[in-house]
Amino acid sequence: MREPIFTGACTAIVTPFDESGAIDYKAFGSLIEDQIARGIDAICVCGTTGESATMSIREHIAAVEFCVKQVNHRVKVIAGAGSNDTSAAVYLSQHAQDSGADALLHVTPYYNKASQTGLIKHYEYIADRTELPILLYNVPGRTGVSFTAETYRILAQNPKINGVKEASGNFSLLAHTRCICPDDFYIWSGNDDQVVPMMSLGAKGVISVASNIVPEVMVKMSHLCLEGDFHAAAKLQIEYMDFIDALFIEVNPIPIKAALNLAGRNVGGLRLPLCDISPKNLEVLRASMERMGLLA
């Protein structure tokens, strides 16, 4: 029986950039250390929040290697390796494996709008060429394609596919997946505003944006759910809803980088085509952070 890569809260960590636009490894190391010190269960590097879409292949590989080395086995490291080009996804997967990452996160191929058969072939091809466990990543709002529960059932038969980061917001899909897939095909929430309801249906935790700022909150929320105390977890979910909403007032990771800068973490800016948060939305974010006591 497969064991889950992690349970609880995993931070989809941002990638800090310096004034020239290069990766700021000093700031990156500081962020990683802060996450571990504050009790996070795992770190996901080079995902959506890490701006992998605007990284060169060389940068992507280097960022994964740096994160793995900095973490040094203290928590699990999940390396983003997804692509709409299957061969590129294999290349990133093999380099992540060589770096010592614990698992891979593979988003559904974007833009191509693959059929369900194409998705199955894509993931089986990757699984055949890596030894690391794979987390599928379903975020149709970004990629234009969603898994079906039946596709999950088929992919769950592959021992290297550990489960899915489910960010579709589709609770019917979640329920049907839990119904027809084996118990050792694990699910994690990919939405910070849906942690508790998803875990009530069997999810094992969350891969979180908000935990870049409040890792201890997301750890506590998810661990309360794992302990069966959904009442206390729901109170925490509701308490932080305003802040979570503010973190998605514009497309991720624009607000979370702004929030980290407001909190004094100095993670720099974004790479085009992403740009700085609008002044109006920055004030909404600032006000929410002030109410929660999160400003520097």
Contact between 126 and 135 (Cβ < 8 Å): no
- pLDDT band at 285, cuts 50/70/90? very high
pLDDT in tens, 26-68: 999 999 999 999 999 999 999 999 999 999 999 999 999 999 9
As a whole number, mean pLDDT of residues 284-294 equals 98
- Point out the catalytic residue in the list 123, 137, 152, 240: 137
DSSP state of 66: H
Under the banding of pLDDT at 50, 70 and 90, the label for residue 194 is very high
Q: What is the pTM of this model?
A: 0.96
Domains along the sequence of the chain with CATH? 8-229 (3.20.20.70)
Q: Is 137 a catalytic residue?
A: yes
Catalytic residue of the set 165, 186, 204, 257: 165
Give the pLDDT score at 1.
Answer: 86
Contact between 27 and 267 (Cβ < 8 Å): yes
Q: How confident is the model at residue 150 (pLDDT cuts 50, 70, 90)?
A: very high
R_g over Cα of the chain: 18
Q: Is residue 204 flagged as an active site residue?
A: no
pLDDT digits (tens, 9 = 90+) for 202-250: 999 999 999 999 999 999 999 999 999 999 999 999 999 999 999 999 9
